[in-house]
Structure 1
Amino acid sequence: MSAHGETPHGAQGGHGNLNQLMAGFALAALLTIVPFALVMGEVEINRTALIATIMGLGGLQILVHLIWFLHVNRSAEEGWTLAATIFAVLILVIVLAGSLWVMKNMNENMMPMHDMEHHMQMEQMKSLQSQQG
């Protein structure tokens, strides 16, 4: 302790007490369990709404980890940490949005297997007809 009775990290700059850490853990667990339950319980909601809910809860979980466990805040000495965190979150959003966009386009543009089999059968029939005719 310092001469003023503060911890070495400052009054608010410490690693938090057990109650704060347990609250962060409970929030993180809840933000993991809810999306898992939505998917495994096969909840009847629109697929787009389900994906948006899962991604939103994932974003909240990132914030919980940053605030409760990594202690990122807006203080002057944490300024670079906050800027780096914002940049990392921006990159994460770009990667997630890009991945969803690519998967959506692939799903729309790929030929389903049963259509491919039907297409191959039609090609075989055309080739047999051209050989006979």
Structure 2
Amino acid sequence: MSAHSIHEEEGHGSYGSYVAGFVLAVVLTAASFWLVLHGGFPHETALLGLAVLAAVQIVVHLVFFLHMNSSSSQRWNVTAFGFTVMTVLIVIVGTVWVMHNVSMNMMSR
């Protein structure tokens, strides 16, 4: 069994899917820059818009460039990615929660 035969059954993207992913990534990046440079939005709205655009761009990269989908051959990749997202969220939310509690319980307020 050669090294190349292991990956032969995996579906890789076509030229058109790579171009579509690239165009979507460029459009999302341009939209993010426009949102920041426009300056016509309140800070909370701009921050929420950037977060949404970032999440959509992550999905575009996962689908078009990393070929992550719901097929049975990708099940372990999706599971590992889900576990990674869950772990990162626990660390971030836990850190914010601890820092908030530390700030509220400081004696020098």
TM-score by length of 2: 0.70
Change (3 A) 1:22 1:93: farther
Partner residue, 2:78: 82
Q: Deviation string for 1:38-96 (max 9, x for gaps)?
A: 11232x11211110100000000000000000011111221110011122233444566
- What runs of 5+ residues in structure 2 fail to find an aligned partner? 1-7, 105-109
Partner residue, 2:38: 41
How many correspondences in the alignment?
A: 92
- The Cα RMSD (Å) is 2.4
Partner residue, 1:14: 11
The one of the two structures with greater contact order (alpha-carbon pairs below 8 A, sep at least 6) is 2
Secondary structure of 2:73's counterpart equals helix
Match status 1:71 vs 2:51: no
- What runs of 5+ residues in structure 1 fail to find an aligned partner? 1-7, 110-133
Distance across 2 between alignment mates of 1:19 and 1:30: 16
Q: Deviation string for 1:73-126 (max 9, x for gaps)?
A: 111221110011122233444566678x58xx7xxx9xxxxxxxxxxxxxxxxx
Larger radius of gyration: 1
Distance across 1 between alignment mates of 2:23 and 2:71: 26
Partner residue, 1:25: 22
Match status 1:53 vs 2:38: no
